[in-house]
C-alpha cells in the first residue's frame, strides 16, 4: 500500500468511527493501524440492524397480553344458557360471532385508546365492572353500536371464578347466574334472540380485580341482544278449555207420594219438673306464658364457595333501547 492510499484509508476510518459512535461507544482498544475499513463498515451496519431487531422484539413483548381465551368455556356456557331457557319454556338463542367478539377480545377504539373485549379487558387491566375502565362511563352497549349490532334491547352478564378447568368454571358461573334474580332475568328474557359468550383466564399471572390476588382466574361475559327486525316472541299457548259436562239423564215422572197418615190422638204429657239450677264453677285463671323470640333459623348467605366464586362476583345490566 502506498503512502497516498494509506492516507485515504485513514480518512475513511476516522469518518466511520464518528458514524459508528451514534450506535455504540468507540472501543478504546481499536487498533489505529491502517486496515481494511470495508470490514469495519460491515460490523457497524450489522450492529445497527441488530439494534433495530432488539427494539422491535421489546415492543412485541410489551404488547403481549398475559390472558388466554378458551373456546371450550365459551361453548359450554352457551349450551348451558340455552338449556336453562328450554327448561323454562323460552326459545333458544342464536349464536352471534360479533357479540362473542365483544364479550371476549374484540378491539374497541371508542375510549380514546384501544381496549380489548370485555372478558380479556377485565382480566388484562385488573378490574371487574360493567363500565369500561377509564372510558368515561361507557358500557358494552357503546361497543355493540360501534361493532354494528343493531338491537332493540340488550343485556350483559359478567362473572368470575377460580375453578380450574373450563367446563367446571362455566358450569359454576352458570349456576351463580341462575341463582341471581337479575342475571336469571337476562338469561330467561324472551325478547332476546342472540347471544355471544366470551371468556378469559389469567393463567399463572395474578389477577387483582376481585378484591384479592388470584391466579387462574376465569372471567365470563354473556352479551344478549334482541336484534333489530327480530320477530316478537311467540305468545304462550292458550290454556285448554275444560270439556263441557254431559247433560244429566232425564228422570221419569212418578206419582206423588201419598200424604202422611195422621198420628193417633194422644193425651197431653205430664209436665216435667224443672231441675234446680246448679252453680257452674268459674275456672281458675291460668297464667299465659310470655312468648319468647324464636331463634333465627334462616341460613345466612354464603360469602364464598369453593374455588373463590364470590356471590358479589356476578353483575348484570339490562338496557332497553329502541332504534329508529
Contact (CB, 8 A) for 169 and 218: yes
> Taking CA 8 as the corner, what is the angle to CA 5 and CA 13, rounded to the nearest 5 degrees?
125
Q: What is the pLDDT of residues 49-65, one digit of tens each?
A: 222 222 222 222 233 33
How many whole angstroms from its chain centre is CA 235?
29
| pTM of the full structure | 0.57
In the chain, what is the straight-line distance between the N-terminal and C-terminal CA atoms, in Å? 87
- Residue 75's contacts (CB-CB under 8 Å, 6 or more residues apart) are 197
Question: Where do runs of H (alpha helix) occur along 127-222?
Answer: 140-146, 166-178, 181-187
- Residue 300's contacts (CB-CB under 8 Å, 6 or more residues apart) are none
Burial of 227 (0-12, 13-18, 19+ CB in 10 A): middle
Q: What are the φ and ψ backbone dihedral angles of 316, each rounded to 5 degrees?
A: -135, 155
What is the model's pLDDT at position 258? 62
Burial of 147 (0-12, 13-18, 19+ CB in 10 A): middle
What is the model's pLDDT at position 138? 96
* Fold for the domain defined by 71-233+308-320: Pathogenesis-related Protein p14a (3.40.33)
Query: How far, in Å, CA of 78 to CA of 71, rounded?
Result: 10
CA distances from 281 to 214, 275, 276, 284, 287 (A): 78, 18, 16, 9, 18
Rounded (to 5) percent helix, strand, coil in the chain: 35, 15, 50
What is the model's pLDDT at position 229? 82
Question: Where do runs of H (alpha helix) occur along 64-165?
Answer: 71-87, 97-103, 118-124, 140-146
What is the model's pLDDT at position 244? 73
What is the model's pLDDT at position 149? 97
The strands making up 194-201's β-sheet, listed across from edge to edge, are 94-95, 194-201, 218-227, 151-161, 314-320
**Cα pseudo-dihedral 139, 140, 144, 145, rounded to 10:** 0
Q: Which residues pair with 184 in a beta bridge?
A: none
What is the model's pLDDT at position 252? 53
Query: How far, in Å, CA of 137 to CA of 157, rounded?
Result: 17
Contact (CB, 8 A) for 319 and 154: yes
Low-confidence ranges of the chain (pLDDT < 70): 1-66, 68-70, 232-240, 246-324
- Residue appearing with cell numbers 422491535: 56
What is the model's pLDDT at position 245? 72
- Residue 314's contacts (CB-CB under 8 Å, 6 or more residues apart) are 157, 158, 159, 173, 176, 177, 180, 183
Q: Which residues pair with 119 in a beta bridge?
A: none
Contact (CB, 8 A) for 123 and 219: yes
- Residue appearing with cell numbers 310470655: 290
Residue 219 grid cell? 372471567
Contact (CB, 8 A) for 131 and 137: yes
Q: Of 188, 130, 141, 194, whose CA–CA distance to 320 is shortest?
A: 141
What is the model's pLDDT at position 320? 44
Amino acid at each position: 500500500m502506498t503512502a497516498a492510499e494509506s492516507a485515504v484509508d485513514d480518512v475513511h476510518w476516522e469518518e466511520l468511527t464518528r458514524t459508528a459512535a451514534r450506535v455504540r461507544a468507540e472501543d478504546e482498544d481499536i487498533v489505529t493501524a491502517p486496515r481494511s475499513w470495508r470490514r469495519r463498515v460491515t460490523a457497524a451496519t450489522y450492529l445497527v440492524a441488530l439494534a433495530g431487531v432488539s427494539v422491535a422484539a421489546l415492543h412485541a413483548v410489551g404488547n403481549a397480553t398475559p390472558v388466554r381465551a378458551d373456546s371450550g368455556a365459551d361453548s359450554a356456557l352457551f349450551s348451558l344458557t340455552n338449556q336453562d331457557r328450554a327448561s323454562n319454556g323460552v326459545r333458544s338463542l342464536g349464536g352471534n360471532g360479533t357479540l362473542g367478539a365483544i364479550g371476549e377480545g374484540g378491539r374497541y377504539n371508542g375510549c380514546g385508546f384501544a381496549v380489548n373485549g370485555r372478558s380479556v379487558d377485565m382480566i388484562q387491566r385488573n378490574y371487574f365492572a360493567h363500565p369500561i375502565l377509564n372510558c368515561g362511563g361507557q358500557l358494552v352497549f357503546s361497543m355493540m353500536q360501534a361493532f354494528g349490532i343493531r338491537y332493540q334491547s340488550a343485556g350483559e352478564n359478567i362473572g368470575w371464578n377460580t375453578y380450574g378447568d373450563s367446563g367446571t368454571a362455566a358450569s359454576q358461573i352458570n349456576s351463580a347466574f341462575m341463582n341471581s334474580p337479575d342475571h336469571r332475568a337476562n338469561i330467561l328474557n324472551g325478547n332476546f334472540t342472540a347471544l355471544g359468550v366470551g371468556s378469559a383466564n389469567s393463567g399463572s399471572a395474578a389477577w387483582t380485580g376481585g378484591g384479592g390476588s388470584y391466579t387462574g382466574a376465569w372471567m365470563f361475559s354473556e352479551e344478549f341482544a334482541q336484534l333489530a327486525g327480530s320477530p316478537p316472541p311467540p305468545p304462550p299457548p292458550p290454556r285448554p278449555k275444560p270439556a263441557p259436562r254431559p247433560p244429566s239423564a232425564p228422570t221419569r215422572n212418578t206419582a206423588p207420594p201419598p200424604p202422611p197418615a195422621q198420628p193417633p190422638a194422644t193425651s197431653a204429657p205430664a209436665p216435667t219438673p224443672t231441675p234446680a239450677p246448679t252453680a257452674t264453677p268459674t275456672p281458675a285463671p291460668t297464667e299465659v306464658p310470655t312468648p319468647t323470640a324464636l331463634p333465627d333459623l334462616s341460613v345466612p348467605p354464603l360469602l364464598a364457595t369453593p374455588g373463590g366464586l364470590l356471590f358479589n362476583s356476578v353483575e348484570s345490566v339490562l338496557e332497553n333501547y329502541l332504534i329508529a
